[in-house]
Structure 1
Amino acid sequence: MNLGADWREYDVAPLPRVLDAALGVFAEKGFHGTSIRDIAGRAGLSVPGLYHHYRSKQDILMDLVLTVMGELLSRSRAAVESGADDPVARLDALVESLLRFHMFRRDQAFVASSEIRSLLPENRAAYVALRDEQQQMLEDLITAGEVHGAFATPSPKEAARAVSTLCVGVASWFREDGPQTPDEVVARYLVMVHGLLGNR
């Protein structure tokens, strides 16, 4: 996915119908509470028709979480690149991207984070590697900001973890028809992030 300047823009999630169906059922029932028949019915397929696309429910979950992480990382990279050579602008853009993803892709974020426990070990390792790549982007930018003299945090790793937790938490309460617009949420959270990082 090549987003360029469009990393702030969100339409309906571009998921194939099997993954879209699985996302809905996993969000409602959880991985272990969902049957192949549930997914097939939601996708408008027969069970044999679903098996034509995927060998197992585990394969569906893995494809789904990799697709979710692929979109998140693509948006994150595009956001960072939009910040030119200024580490603070890059960090602000990355935080904004994380916030918007967790506002507009709530079900995806919820399923990907909560169902990591349901992935087989080799699949979990692949997913965690992508999650770690995302986290490293935050940590690297916080470290760069500290070197640049913009931030004063003595613990970039812990600070990055705290910032990530703030962004992920938005998915639990934000509603598009709620009292705060996405732009207002971004503005308020950037103030909190800068306070956390000890701006100089």
Structure 2
Amino acid sequence: MAESVADLRADGHTDWREYGPLELPPILAHSLDAIVEHGYHGTSVRDLARRVGVTVPALYYHYQNKQAILVELLMGSLTTVLGRCRSAVAEVGDDPVERFSALVECVVLFMTHRAPLAFLDTEIRSLEPDNRARYIELRDELESLLRDAVRDGAEVGVFTTPVPVDASRAVLAMCQAVAQWYRPDGPLGAQEIAERYVTIALAAVGHRP
């Protein structure tokens, strides 16, 4: 299997807020485009090989099958956003409001700057059982970062939501949905959207300054 590049590594960033152009190996780049356009099941290995400009056996030399390509993209995407979220939490420290705000900002920035990759989360249904279990385990860690921040804030009274677990889950789903509608040529930039979502998310957990 091809070595993961910086865009698919948890430690591939120097600043969790900064993003360059998305750079993937040709097979992954063309596979991402095809799956976003036609869905996983609507994309054939032959179509992927044609897009990359190689033979089907050459494609299989790098990846065992189409499922392996999907796993590389999905796990790489989740690993990347989780790595950035860990960096965000480490930067702001223990304050629950700062942690929560940084996490929301971090997730939304990923959803905007890496929208095609983030959009692939809808293809979790296409993962085989073992791969799906691995993906969900990693996604649970991301959810726990938000959940812990909301719980800690509720305990000290800066968040007033009576349902911190449900509130954190709802906030994460709201942030992830950005990838479905965001367009780089839209009226708001990625940072502006992230800041607005922090405001919305703080209201959702009943933030009391």
TM-score range (shorter-chain normalised) is over 0.9
Alignment of 1:1-200 (within 5 A): 1-2=10-11, 6-111=15-120, 113-200=121-208
Percent identity between matched residues is 44
The one-letter amino acid of 1:21's match is: H
Q: Matches of 1:21 and 1:141 in 2, distance apart?
A: 38
Post-superposition Cα deviations, 1:25-46, rounded to whole Å, max 9, x if no partner, equal 1001111111111112222322
Q: Matches of 1:116 and 1:33 in 2, distance apart?
A: 15
SS of 1:6's equivalent in the other structure is: coil
Post-superposition Cα deviations, 1:150-198, rounded to whole Å, max 9, x if no partner, equal 1111111100111012101211222222111222212221111111111
The one-letter amino acid of 2:157's match is: G
Aligned CA RMSD, in angstroms, stands at 1.4
SS of 1:34's equivalent in the other structure is: coil
SS of 2:20's equivalent in the other structure is: coil
1:7·1:79 contact (CA, 8 Å) conserved in 2?
yes
Q: Matches of 1:118 and 1:172 in 2, distance apart?
A: 18
Post-superposition Cα deviations, 1:112-143, rounded to whole Å, max 9, x if no partner, equal x2111111111111111111111111101111
Partner of 2:5: none
The one-letter amino acid of 2:47's match is: D
Normalising by structure 2, we get a TM-score of 0.90
- Of Structure 1 and Structure 2, the greater helix share is in 1
Per the TM alignment, residue 72 of structure 1 is displaced from its structure 2 partner at its CA by 1.0
2:12·2:80 contact (CA, 8 Å) conserved in 1?
no
Aligned length: 199
Q: Matches of 2:192 and 2:59 in 1, distance apart?
A: 42
The one-letter amino acid of 1:136's match is: S
Moved over 4 A (4+): none
For structure 1, the 5+ residue unaligned runs are none
For structure 2, the 5+ residue unaligned runs are 1-9
